Amino acid sequence: IRREGVRLFLLWMQALQHNALREQLWIFACLIPGFPAPQSELGPRTLDNLISPPLNLQE
């Protein structure tokens, strides 16, 4: 199932080409083994925190 999901994601990224958003590129970097984890002000981004970002309770 994972292989098919990655294949479909890669086809989608190819279709987007230069129209891909930053978040979509981050997901790509998280899915492909060997790519370094994208960095944020809170540390490395993971697929979990891209899909469900931590709540920022600072006001």
> Which residue segment(s) compose the domain that 27 sits in?
2-51
**Residue 18 maps to a domain:** yes
> For residues 3 and 59, what is the distance between their CA atoms, to the nearest angstrom?
42
Residue 1 has pLDDT above 80, yes or no: no
Q: Is the pTM of this model over 0.85?
A: no
Q: Is residue 17 part of a domain?
A: yes
Residue 29 lies in a domain: yes
The verdict on residue 57 lying in a domain is no
Domain presence at residue 9:
yes
pLDDT tens across 5-56, in order?
A: 888 988 998 999 889 888 888 888 888 778 887 887 777 888 887 788 777 6
Report pLDDT for 49: 78
Tell me the CA distances in angstroms from 8 to 2, 5, 40, 43, one per residue in order.
10, 5, 27, 28
- At 50 the pLDDT is 79
- pLDDT at 59 (0 to 100): 53
